[in-house]
Copies of this chain bind each other. A is one copy, B any other.
Amino acid sequence: MRIAEDTRRRVLRAAHELRYRPDLMARGLRTRVTRTLALVTDSVASEAYAGELVYGSLLAAAARGYLLFVCETGEDVELEGQLVEELLDRHVDAYLYASYFTREVEVPDALRSQRLVLLNCRAPGSGLPSVVPDEVAAGRSAAAALLDAGHRDGIWLVGETEPQVIAAAERVRGMEEVLGAAGARLAGTVPSAWWPESAFEQFGAFLDERRHPRAVICFNDRVAMGVYQALAVRGLRVPGDVSVVAFDDSDLAVWLRPALSSVALPHRELATTAVELLLGEGDPGTEHRVPMPLRLRESIGPPRASWRSW
């Protein structure tokens, strides 16, 4: 300690008075560390609810003194390549590679050598760490909620089960597990796109075939909105005539009347978990499954005693 304490103080004070701050670009040039992260995503604004993916990343990054670049590729591989190059040119420290719905993705080569966590998607065989919602458990929760209310028969699924939609397949697995254990089963599936319009049409047509569902599991809240509408038009009540449970727990779930029971898709938590992993906190295992909590509301009741009276 060769410098006089007094001098030390004066220097520090001067720095403070001049509002000195280290130039992170210059520092980065030497250390190759920029304290920036990038969120590379297919599409985040298009799906309103995926905005929480950005927000969660933002929060977690800021809490650790990192700034976040946000990129959107619109699933355009060429654009994605360009954006990744741009990020690389700026020496981003680490990458979040995200999808707005859970699916398998192809990670661009240029990112393979970077610090990288997959967010709401996975790349099988790549060994890359990924953070995804626990959809199997979510399926179990939805089915269990109906069982708890006394439902055994007439439980229908509304939605589409395309192979690349991981959520659908895993949820069904969870449901069948729990229903099977209770000696019950799904009565069938009403095919519908994951939107209110489609659900209104398809589920309406289904009702008009004089089918009498006692409970309905919708693949998301928007589908449930269409189901509510189809029921309302026909004078059927929720949950008096039909119980409804869905997935996502978006704003809609609270806005619908009666309020919709829904298994939450915790986008924000997915993102914060991914950032923690990315920054080397916590277990570096390969696949992290984030729980999807059930939000029980008024849309589930005991099954109607008889079917005949409709």
- Which residues of A are in contact with B by a Cβ distance under 8 Å? 21-26, 28-29, 34, 36, 44-46, 48-52, 54-56, 58-59, 62, 65, 67-72, 79, 83, 85-91, 195-197, 200, 222, 225-226, 229, 232-233, 251, 254-255, 257, 268
From B23, B26, B54, B65, A70 is in contact (CB under 8 Å) with: B54
Question: Which residue from B21, B56, B59 sits with its C-beta under 8 Å from A89?
Answer: B21
Of B24, B48, B52, which is within 8 A of A90 by CB? B24
What are 16 A-to-B residue pairs whose CB atoms are below 8 Å?
A21-B85, A23-B91, A25-B28, A25-B29, A34-B90, A44-B51, A45-B51, A45-B52, A45-B55, A54-B54, A65-B86, A67-B86, A67-B87, A69-B70, A197-B255, A229-B257
By a CB distance below 8 angstroms, the chain B residues around A65 are: 86
Q: Which residues of B contact A56 (CB under 8 A)?
A: 45
Q: How far is the CA of A156 from the CA of B138 in the complex (A)?
A: 44
Q: How far is the CB of A271 from chain B (nearest CB, A)?
A: 10
Find chain B residues with CB under 8 A from A87 CB: 67
11 additional contacts, CB 8 Å, given A23-B89, A24-B89, A24-B91? A21-B85, A21-B88, A23-B29, A25-B90, A26-B29, A44-B51, A48-B48, A67-B86, A70-B70, A196-B255, A197-B254
User: In the complex the two chains form, is A34's CB within 8 Å of B44's CB?
Assistant: no
Select A58's contact among B29, B71, B196, beta carbons within 8 Å.
B71
Scoring A25, A50, A65, A91 by chain B CB atoms within 10 A of each residue's CB, the highest score goes to: A25
Report the minimum CB–CB distance from A83 to chain B (whole Å).
7
In the bound complex, residues from chain B placing their C-beta under 8 Å from that of A268 are 45
The residue on B at minimum CB distance from A257 is B229
**Shortest 6 CB-CB contacts between residues of A and residues of B:** A45-B55, A48-B48, A45-B51, A51-B51, A196-B255, A24-B89
Complex contact B48–A62 (CB within 8 A): no
Q: Which residues of B contact A233 (CB under 8 A)?
A: 257
The residues of B that contact A71 with a CB separation of less than 8 Å are 58, 62, 67-68
Across the interface, name the chain B residue whose C-beta is closest to A45: B55
B58:A54 contact, CB within 8 angstroms:
no
A255: nearest chain-B partner, CB-CB:
B196
Residues of B within 8 A of A196 (CB): 255
Q: Is the CB of A22 within 8 A of B55?
A: no
